Amino acid sequence: MKRLILQLWRTSPDQPNLAATPFLMASTAAAMSIDVEIHVIGSTVDLFIKDNPKNQQIIAPSNRPLSAFIEDAIRTGVKIKVCSTALRDRQLELGDLVEGVSEVIGMVTMIDLATDSNTTVLTY
């Protein structure tokens, strides 16, 4: 099966209009029956912290909060996998993140998944 991995590396709630794009891309691909994963690296973990007020920023022209795009991706079956180092560095646990974050993985697993021959990787 075809897999799409969206690596979130520079995506930030500090730029909400840009942050919505990878979630919209992920939801669209999932609706096309593509196996979609979002790999959360470094500071992008902030997007998934429960009750992060920055995720309530309204995205123009949709007039929806950033959190709605994240929820859409999760609802459409996108798997959210968070880097173990990103969590450790911020003293966070899986329970500190929004419901729907499916797994904590390390860099070796991320690289293994990203280099599979049936996988396309987009980095945001």
**Which of residues 102 and 89 earns the better pLDDT score?**
89
pLDDT tens, position by position, 21-74? 999 999 999 999 999 999 999 999 999 999 999 999 999 899 999 999 999 999
pLDDT at 11: 94
pLDDT at 29: 98
Domains of the chain in sequence order: 3-123 (3.40.1260.10)
pLDDT at 99: 95
DSSP 2-70: -EEEEEESS--TTSHHHHHHHHHHHHHHHHTT-EEEEEE-GGGGGGGBTT-GGGGPEETTTTEEHHHHH
Q: What's the pTM? A: 0.94
pLDDT at 1: 81
pLDDT at 26: 98
